[in-house]
Amino acid sequence: MPAPIEDYAMIGDCHSAALISREGSIDWLCLPRFDAGACFAALLGDRSHGHWSITPRGEFTVERWYLPETMVLVTEFRGPDGVCRVLDCMVVEGAHPTVVRIVEGVHGSVDLELDLVIRFDYGSIVPWVRRRRNGSLLAVAGAETLLLYTPVALRSENQCSHATFTIQAGQRLPFTLIWHPSHQPHPPPPGDPGPAVDRTIAWWQAWAARCTYVGPHRALVQRSLLTLKALTYAPTGGIVAAPTTSLPEAIGGVRNWDYRYCWLRDSTFTLYALLGAGYREEAARWREWLIRAVAGTPSQINIMYGLAGERRLTELELPWLPGYRGSRPVRTGNAACAQLQLDVFGEVMDTLHLARRSLEYSESSWRVQQAMLEYLEGAWNQPDEGIWEVRGPRRHFTHSKVMAWVAFDRGIKAVQGYGRPGPARRWQAVRQRIFDEVCLYGYDREQDSFVQSYGSREVDASLLMMSLVGFLPANDPRIVGTVAQVERSLMSGGLVRRYRPEHMQDGLPGDEGAFLACSFWLADNYILQGRRADAERLFLRLTGLCNDVGLLSEEYDPVHRCFLGNFPQAFSHIALVNTAINLAQHGRPADDRSPADDRSHVPGQ
């Protein structure tokens, strides 16, 4: 059985990532990139589906940490006769994807056991394994090859590799695992991996040193930014939502999705976090990835894309995997990529509006925006699947309409504030129609709140975005009433749920946990409403959920006190950074996107 989700740490090389349990087992690793087939897939099954463990024999205790300002992990094992440490990292900017594990004796002696089970294609393919003359272990099947270099003698048992060894104080034993395509020559032996590890440590520390955030909780902010960088696919600048697939929103449930792709809904939050922390280069690369991804006919825009902007993300089920703690099915690909979600147009326009204020002008960016607004003029009043990707009937989601309003609002600001060419007067008329319709059909006067969709009486957490994007001021009575209704209807254990699944009609059975990003949005609303003590209290509650190495999942179960959903989740860490920045500003976090510079759409002005 895999470990609890919160017991994992992540290492990465900005191409892919590995998850390592507290017991020293790599239970998830996809090579050569995030969305490739896993060679270690025990996370979604058991040890027979692939893992690589280095663990003390007998009883031991564990403490672990990242080396300062890096994604290099140190796990310290304490046994009855001694202490040892395992340093884990993925080499950054190497010629081939490489995982290095170095076991070091601290004092006394520790008996350890190594267990290596390589299974390509998510645990389905048993490779041909043999020992080469130079002592390395070769595993090959189909298009993939793995080479393991180590001075420790390995033995083969039942298509697995094992070793037992003792580490003494002052002793150092390296293990280097290298992936390469099977049709290419084997790379030369790596020798001592120490210099590659040192370069990787220096690379991460140099990146972390560029962080300009100064304020409370700097260590948590920096850890979240490092995690975000580790989830970035270096060749393109795309940022995956998570490095995993099918970690469930409820243990034993069917809400198990592949998150190893790049969502447009995350774009504004991502850019805001990167720019707010001083990472202009990463923000510029994210903008360029976004422009390339959405280029083309606006009617064919996806809500998510592959790492390089791929659009075809065919969803498949992997029946040979039993799923994380019995949570089936396990899926790769994501059928939601083809859904109609009108909110993505607003999120893209909002992202590029923020970029316009801080980054160099991009002519191609404005052409893309003009085409999107031209399409949206005739599409904004359609029903859609909404931000939460319901697999049920389309409806008129209030959040989708609000984000359509955002799209036209940011287009108008580009014309009026930055001199971009465009029919601002016509866009103003459309913006006003959307505003009036949302206030008429998306607001329930009886319960004094906006609602999830037209004609509904339910609320969902996406309504918390209304003040953050400047649709209405946070102290407008309708926003105050909506926040109060979210507190009454969606709070669980002091955290915010996205919605109540029993009222969603999303075509799927089961429940889910509290959604951490939405909980940060509530804290942002508190800041805007002057409820600073409430905001700080909620922020501390949320950051207190970080695991021992500072990572967050997508969701949290306040009843069983465990992480849920894919992990670590970029959306959660982005929200943490943004709320921390908002708290540090002692001001109004939505001012960057407020309607203050253009009041023509506000009734009576």
Over residues 389-418, the pLDDT tens digits come to 887 789 999 999 999 999 999 999 999 999
Q: What is the pLDDT of residue 600?
A: 34
Question: With bands split at pLDDT 50, 70 and 90, how would you rate the model's confidence at 503?
Answer: low
**CATH number, position 24:** 2.70.98
Question: With bands split at pLDDT 50, 70 and 90, how would you rate the model's confidence at 591?
Answer: low
Q: What is the pLDDT of residue 215?
A: 87
Q: What is the pLDDT of residue 268?
A: 81
- The residue type found at 526 is Y
Q: What is the pLDDT of residue 134?
A: 82
Question: With bands split at pLDDT 50, 70 and 90, how would you rate the model's confidence at 601?
Answer: very low
DSSP 3-state assignment of 262?
Answer: strand
Residue 93 lies in a domain: yes
Does the pLDDT at position 589 exceed 70? Answer: no
Residue 602 lies in a domain: no
pTM: 0.94
Structure-token pair, residue 132: 């080469």
Tell me how far apart the alpha carbons of residues 342 and 365 are, in angstroms, rounded to a whole number. 19
Structure-token pair, residue 521: 């949005």
Residue 604 lies in a domain: no
Does the pLDDT at position 113 exceed 70? Answer: yes
Tell me the average pLDDT of the chain.
Answer: 92
Same domain, residue pair 154 and 133: yes
Condensed to tens digits (0 to 9), the pLDDT of residues 213-236 reads 998 899 999 999 999 999 999 999
Same domain, residue pair 200 and 229: no
Same domain, residue pair 252 and 352: yes
Does the pLDDT at position 599 exceed 70? Answer: no
Same domain, residue pair 200 and 217: no
- The residue type found at 306 is G
Condensed to tens digits (0 to 9), the pLDDT of residues 463-493 reads 999 999 999 999 999 999 999 999 999 999 9
**Among residues 175, 206, 237, which one ends one of the domains?**
206
Tell me how far apart the alpha carbons of residues 77 and 56 are, in angstroms, rounded to a whole number. 7
Same domain, residue pair 163 and 299: no
Same domain, residue pair 179 and 228: no
Question: With bands split at pLDDT 50, 70 and 90, how would you rate the model's confidence at 506?
Answer: low
Question: With bands split at pLDDT 50, 70 and 90, how would you rate the model's confidence at 602?
Answer: very low
Helices marked H in 113-193: 120-123
Question: CA distances (Å), 112 to each of 48, 50, 95, 152, 158, in order?
Answer: 20, 19, 30, 11, 20
Same domain, residue pair 394 and 433: yes
Same domain, residue pair 86 and 228: no
Does the pLDDT at position 265 exceed 90? Answer: no
Residue 223 lies in a domain: yes
Tell me how far apart the alpha carbons of residues 371 and 350 are, in angstroms, rounded to a whole number. 15
Same domain, residue pair 214 and 101: no
Q: What is the pLDDT of residue 119?
A: 98
Does the pLDDT at position 187 exceed 50? Answer: yes
Question: With bands split at pLDDT 50, 70 and 90, how would you rate the model's confidence at 597?
Answer: very low
Q: What is the pLDDT of residue 338?
A: 85
Residue 536 lies in a domain: yes
Which parts of 321-465 are beta strand (E)?
Answer: 331-332, 443-444, 449-450
Helix 570-585 × helix 218-230 angle, to 10°: 150
Q: Which residues contact 310 (CB under 8 A, 6 or more apart)?
A: none
Q: Which residues contact 419 (CB under 8 A, 6 or more apart)?
A: none
Does the pLDDT at position 517 exceed 50? Answer: yes
Q: Is the peptide bond before 568 cis (omega within 30 degrees of 0)?
A: yes
Same domain, residue pair 150 and 246: no
**Among residues 158, 174, 206, which one ends one of the domains?**
206
Same domain, residue pair 141 and 272: no
Residue 603 lies in a domain: no
Q: How many domains are there within the chain? A: 2
Does the pLDDT at position 366 exceed 50? Answer: yes
Question: CA distances (Å), 381 to each of 162, 342, 377, 423, 436, in order?
Answer: 61, 9, 9, 20, 12
Residue 294: domain span: 210-597
**CATH number, position 530:** 1.50.10.10
- The residue type found at 200 is T
CB 438 within 8 A of CB 401: yes
CB neighbour class for 200 (10 Å; exposed up to 12, middle 13-18, buried from 19): buried
Tell me how far apart the alpha carbons of residues 323 and 241 are, in angstroms, rounded to a whole number. 20
Which parts of 431-536 are beta strand (E)?
Answer: 443-444, 449-450, 491-492, 495-496, 514-515
Condensed to tens digits (0 to 9), the pLDDT of residues 416-444 reads 999 999 999 999 999 999 999 999 999 99
For 511-554, give the DSSP string.
---EEHHHHHHHHHHHHHTT-HHHHHHHHHHHHTTS-TTS---S
Q: Which residues contact 50 (CB under 8 A, 6 or more apart)?
A: 38, 39, 40, 41, 42, 117, 118, 119, 123
Condensed to tens digits (0 to 9), the pLDDT of residues 145-175 reads 999 999 999 998 888 999 999 999 999 999 9
Q: What is the pLDDT of residue 272?
A: 86
Portion of the chain with pLDDT greater than 90, in percent:
82
Considering only 104-113, 373-382, 501-510, 545-554, which range has the smallest mean pLDDT?
501-510
Residue 605 lies in a domain: no
**Among residues 141, 171, 206, which one ends one of the domains?**
206
Same domain, residue pair 269 and 362: yes
Tell me how far apart the alpha carbons of residues 340 and 327 are, in angstroms, rounded to a whole number. 28
Q: What is the pLDDT of residue 225?
A: 97
